Structures are given as C-alpha cells and as structure tokens.
Structure 1
C-alpha cells in the first residue's frame, strides 16, 4: 500500500470510529485530524468535504458486503430448487460476517447512526448506490412468494432487514457465551435469523 493510500485508509478508519462514537454532526474535522494523525489539507485532498468522507466510510464497507451478497445470489437466482432459506442465507450471512470482521462492529454503529439521524443526503446516496442490490433480492423473493402483493412483500423485507441490523449490532439480549466460539455464535445467529425471517415471509 502506497503512502497516499495508507493515509486515506487511516482517515477512513478514524472517521468510522469517530462517527460511531459521536454521530455525523457531533464529529468535527478537528477531532478527525487529531485521531488520524493528519492535517486538514490531507482530508480535503482525499475527500473534498465531510459529506463525501461520510459516503466513503459507507462505500468502503458496503461495496465489499454487497459484492459478496450478489455473488451468492447469482449462484441460486431463478433455479427451480432454490428455497427461500437459500436466498435469505445469501442476504444475511455476508452481513453477519461483516459485522464480526475487524472494524465491522464499529461500522454497525455508524449504520445505526445513519438510521437514527435521518440524514436525507446519506439515505439518497445509499439508495442510489445500493438500491439495485435490494431490488435483485426482491425479484427472487417475489418469485418464491407469488401469493404476496408487492406492498406486503416490501413490508416484510423491511422488517427482515431491521431484524438483521439488530442482529449485526450485537446489542441484543442474547450475548455470546464464554464457552462458545465467535464462529459458532455467528452461525447460531444466522440459523435463527434465517428461520425467523423465512417464517415471517411465508406467513399467510
């Protein structure tokens, strides 16, 4: 990694931690430059504005996440033997993996901030850049659930996404036991969530 790339990465890592702790409005560029060990000129050079920096914090994680989701979906979409659980697995497991990767937990808190702070410009950015991912999954859900109206399907997918975000945050009442490995706990979470989501999506 060259010096310019490592500086950019350092700024993104510091920004992610700061946004998780203080929110987008509460985190100042002065705090960011101190945390990243860079000057303001470096932030401006790499990102131009705070809004663009916020977008790049999301892009760094979500590009990777959604590439893995779409890669998994590509192998099962349209096949007669594909089940609802298969599609949910392609949607849920990459997200749970991200939430337990290095820095992923912090990013979940940043994501929660985005929902809590009702940032319209950020929502527009996320919709424009990642809306196509949800649309591709929705096509497959609709194929497997022909009895649901479009509106009802969107309601249910929205609730599944909410349950996934909750599971990714690690704030739930079920915490990992000391004798259970991180991998096993993540697998248990995935299995429970896929079963729960499938039942909710299939409900009459």
Structure 2
C-alpha cells in the first residue's frame, strides 16, 4: 500500500532526529518506539529489527551528506567544496550520527545479524560521485576513482580520529593538508 512507504519514511525521519539528540545505539527497540510515538511491532514491521533500523538511519544520514555534496555550487573551487563538506561532516552536531555510523559499520564487518546491508555500497556510494566530481575538476580519468577512494578513506579516518580524540584543530589541520596534497597533485583540482 502506498501509505506504508510514507509511514516508514516518517518513522525513519523521526529516528534520525531522535538519534541526533539522544543517540539510539544503547536504547532498546521498545524504548525507541515509545520515544518515536509508535510500537516496537511497527518498527520491526518496517525495519526488521533494531539493527535494521540502525542501518536505515545510517544510510539516510549518508544519503543526506551525499545530497549536500551534490548541492554544493559547482562553480566553487574544488578545495572550497572539500572544505565545506568537511565542515559539515566534522560539525559536533554530526557526532552522534558518525558514532552510530562507525558502530553499525563495525557490527556489519563482524557479520552481526541484520547489519550486512550496511556494507552494500558503503564505499561505492561515495566513490562514484566523488570520482565524477574529480573528472569534472580535471583529475585524469585514470586517477579519478583511486583518488575518490583515498578521499573517502582519509575523511572516514579523520572522522574516527576526531571522535576518538576530540582534537578539532589537529584533525582540521590534517584535512587541510590532505586537500593541499590534492591541490598540488592535480594543479588546482581537489574534491571532498
């Protein structure tokens, strides 16, 4: 039925919002359902399990981040695009989502039930659009995918560093250095 998708989307939006303010990894499915104004049965119906809901939340937040990247003004210098994306990703308001991302990612890597879906596209969903952006910004097509993958790896590594240490200045300096390396390698072309 058409309204079931709308109900799922509304629950997912509410879970994303709840996660931003309270975190959800340590909350039981019943507690989360009560906080979202629904029943645990509805969450199970729409997401299969608590882990399925966590994966859905992570995927939704990731999709919003990719949409932010896609919406950045294409006339901006690539370094500035990278800096703006980094500012968004490293904003303390994003930390609850990022902690959840790494927690669910780790569970998926350990083959925890209902989290395997997390691994589907977790890298490629970022590599493909960044590689396209790289090519548009003058990175040779033969280098575009590898540099996009490197960009994803560096960004995730620095986010993990930031969450572990809280060293915003040190991590920002490292990202600036990474962007400068891209700038030097591609004559002014840098993405993410």
Contact 2:127 2:152 in 1 (8 A): no
Shift of 1:150: 5.9
Contact 1:11 1:43 in 2 (8 A): no
Instruction: Report the CA distance shift for 1:144/1:194 in structure 2 as closer, same or farther (over 3 A).
Output: farther
Shift of 1:108: 0.9
TM-score between both structures, scaled by the size of structure 1? 0.58
Distance 2:157 2:34 in 1: 36
Contact 1:87 1:137 in 2 (8 A): no
Q: 1:162 is matched with which residue?
A: 156
Instruction: Report the CA distance shift for 1:41/1:116 in structure 2 as closer, same or farther (over 3 A).
Output: closer
Q: 2:64 is matched with which residue?
A: 64
Can you list the C-alpha shifts for 1:19-44, whole angstroms capped at 9, x where unaligned? 2xx4xxxx653453355464223324
Distance 1:98 1:55 in 2: 18
Q: 2:74 is matched with which residue?
A: 75
Q: 1:109 is matched with which residue?
A: 99
Q: Secondary structure at the match of 1:144?
A: coil
Does 2:165 correspond to 1:172?
yes
Q: 2:179 is matched with which residue?
A: 198
Shift of 1:139: 3.1
Q: 1:137 is matched with which residue?
A: 130
Shift of 1:193: 4.5
The gaps in structure 1 that reach 5 residues or longer are 77-81, 177-184
Equivalent of 1:100 in 91, 103, 107: 91
Q: 1:181 is matched with which residue?
A: none
Distance 1:111 1:146 in 2: 31
Does 2:157 correspond to 1:153?
no
Q: 2:39 is matched with which residue?
A: 39
Can you list the C-alpha shifts for 1:95-136, whole angstroms capped at 9, x where unaligned? 53255364x221010111133231532110545xx71x5323
Q: 1:18 is matched with which residue?
A: 24
Contact 1:156 1:200 in 2 (8 A): no
